[in-house]
Amino acid sequence: MRYVDELRDPRLIRAVAAEIARLADPDRHYRIMEVCGGHTHAIYRHGLVELLPPNVELIHGPGCPVCVLPMGRIDDGLALAEQPNVIFTAFGDMMRVPGRRGTPLEYRARGADVRMVYSPLDALKLAQAHPEKHVVFFAIGFETTAPSTALTLQKAKALGIRNFSVFCNHVLIVPAIRAILDSPDMRLDGFIGPGHVSTVIGCRPYLFVARDYGKPLVVSGFEPLDILQSILMILRQLAEGRAEVENQYSRVVPWDGNRAALAAMAEVFELRPYFEWRGLGFISQSALKISEAYADWDAERQFDVPGVRVTDPKAAQCGEVLKGVLKPPQCKLFGRECTPEHPIGALMVSNEGACAAYYHYVHRLAAAGRDD
Amino acid sequence: MCLAIPGQIVALEPETHLALVEVLGVRRRVNVDLVWDEGLREGDWVLIHVGFALSKVSEQEAAAQLRLLEALGEDEQAMEEVRGYLFDVAE
């Protein structure tokens, strides 16, 4: 690089870290939640925890779409995969997530036609290439991913492709943040707001966090300096008794989001009255289902889905870790029965899950002599 | 999962709402409906997610995002994802 990009300049990173240490009131313990799994991953990978004073604690949030999906939804989706004429498609992240009777890969080993796709458009193309089959796309993800599913369904409808349907598990970030703010066992001082979700929804939807709950929220990029600057902005608000939504990632995130994406979502999806989140329980209006106008492409209407409800294995404390009440190593199964090789909880499967991130990088933390 | 992959637009195809983009040397078409009304030109950079351009970004931001992917060890994963977009490849 001709010049040291200011986002990577170690001097700048040290300067911001020093400013954080200076600003953090020593006899106060700050609990700041990073909502998005991508931030969790970046924080551990860059070892940012080590740059923070001990009284500034980062709490991992629910922003990992694989982690929040209840096991019952996976079983329901895989019940479709077992239908003789169905090709079941999903993103790579889903392939190793365990349902009660195994992971999608294990279903494939038992003969189900389970295929990994990198885009919903690939699933649609499979449907065009196999008119004799019915292709189901197992859709997951927050508002970052929901527009892509919406546009794919618009295309299926426009082209009249009827052997294609979506099993919709898209979830919304704002109701999850509200549920966390409302849950009694959560004491948080501020939020690092999601980056890529916000390119779609903008920053306005988070205003309730500052207005109704009096907590700062800063939408952050993913570079080390972005995350540290966002933490500094939160601490500055707290020091000055302010509670506002700020956009640190303004070089990518427009304050009003992406109009075309929001329009597509509004046409293709409707709010579910409630949806179960792993670890957070039922949250009202927190997920999307396919709208009336696209009923012919809704797998839950085209097939009768069992609607299985499965409670997590008792010993696994995914819920508490997901809400940040527990740190990964405080779960009894962490690193013992539950490891990346044979994950029990979804937080260990997805690399955005707190447990997977902690497991991969925990040796660095342990080496630094701080078991945070 | 919510991987945002920076790609440079090599060619625009208005009739199919696709654009040929290059990501770390891999060329694939992606859907550009979500950024169409921001006005696209060849040479522009976009963030790509599951086959769709999600937002337009500056060249500097694209470089920062590429470097971040390398730092997170996700550049291989990004190339694998882009190589995996087969919806544009003729049979």
pLDDT grade, residue B26 (50/70/90)? very high
CB contact A142 to B (< 8 Å): yes
| Tens-place pLDDT, residues B28-75 | 999 999 999 889 999 999 999 999 999 999 998 898 888 888 877 788
Greater model confidence, A6 or A192: A192
Q: What CA–CA distance (Å, rounded) separates A61 from A166?
A: 27
Distance from CA of A117 to the nearest CA of B (A): 7
User: What does the longest C-alpha to C-alpha distance in chain A come to?
Assistant: 68
Q: Mean pLDDT for chain A?
A: 90
CB A125 within 8 A of CB B84: no
pTM, full prediction: 0.91
DSSP state of A161: -
Point out the residue among A45, A148, A223 whose CB comes nearest to the CB of B51.
A148
Residue that is written with structure tokens 């794919």 in the block: A152
Contacts of B4 in chain A (CB under 8 A): 144, 195-196
Is pLDDT larger for residue A368 or for residue A229? A229
Using a CB-CB distance cutoff of 8 angstroms, which residues of chain A are in contact with residue B19? Answer: none
Average pLDDT over residues A238-266: 96
What is the average pLDDT across B4-15?
Answer: 93
Give the nearest partner residue to B64 out of A7, A120, A264, using CB atoms.
A7
* CB contact (8 A) between residue A129 and residue B31: no
Sequence spans of domains, chain B? 5-83
Percent of all residues in chain B with a pLDDT value above 70, rounded to a whole number: 96
- Closest by CA position to A108, among listed A125, A126, A89: A89
Decide: A39 and A194 in contact? Cβ < 8 Å. yes
Task: Tell whether A38 is within 8 A of chain B (Cβ).
Answer: yes
A196 contact B CB<8A: yes
Q: Is the pLDDT of residue A297 over 70?
A: yes
Average pLDDT over residues A337-354: 82
Evaluate if residue A4 carries a pLDDT over 50: no
Q: What are the pLDDT digits (tens) for B58-67? A: 998 898 888 8
**From residue A294, how far is each of A140, A165, A241 by CA, in Å?**
18, 9, 48
Find chain B residues with C-beta within 8 A of A148's C-beta.
31, 49-52
Does the CB of B40 have a partner CB in chain A at under 8 Å?
A: no
Which residues 11-30 of B have a C-beta within 8 angstroms of A?
A: none
Element (H, E) at B82: helix B75-84
Residue A11: both structure tokens together: 């001097």
Would you say B17 and B31 are in contact if contact means Cβ atoms under 8 Å apart?
Answer: yes
- pLDDT of A57 reads 94
Residue B69: list chain A partners with CB under 8 A.
none
A197 inside 8 A of chain B by CB = yes
CA distance A330 to A320: 10
Q: From chain A, pick out residues whose CB is under 8 angstroms from the CB of B52.
A: 119, 147-148, 151
d(CA A228, CA A19): 10
Mutation for A interface: B50, B59, B75, B86, most A CBs within 10 A: B50
Alpha helices in chain A (DSSP H): 10-23, 37-45, 71-81, 104-109, 120-129, 146-159, 173-182, 196-201, 207-213, 224-239, 259-268, 299-302, 318-322, 346-349, 354-367
Question: What pLDDT, on the 0 to 100 scale, is given for residue B90?
Answer: 54
CB contact under 8 A, A145 and B81: no
List, in order, residues 6 or more apart from B90 with CB less than 8 Å away: none
Note whether A119 contacts B84, CB cutoff 8 Å: yes
- The confidence score (pLDDT) of residue A1 equals 37
Give the integer Cα–Cα distance in Å for B20 and A188.
Answer: 45
Q: What is the pLDDT of residues A43-93, one digit of tens each?
A: 988 889 999 999 999 998 988 888 889 889 999 999 999 999 999 999 998
Strand partners, A283: A275
Q: Is the pLDDT of residue A3 over 50?
A: no
Q: Say if residues A96 and A349 touch (Cβ distance below 8 Å).
A: yes
Span B5-83: which CATH code?
A: 2.30.30.140
Report the chain B residue with the minimal C-alpha distance to residue A150.
Answer: B34
Percent of chain A with pLDDT over 70: 94
The number of angstroms, rounded, from the C-alpha of A203 to the middle of its chain's C-alpha atoms is 17
Q: Is A352's Cβ below 8 Å from some Cβ in B?
A: yes
pLDDT at A319 over 70: yes
For residue B30, give Cα distances in angstroms to A127, A253, B17, B34, B87: 19, 21, 8, 11, 9
Place of tokens 């169409």: B36
Q: How confident is the model at residue A303 (pLDDT cuts 50, 70, 90)?
A: very high
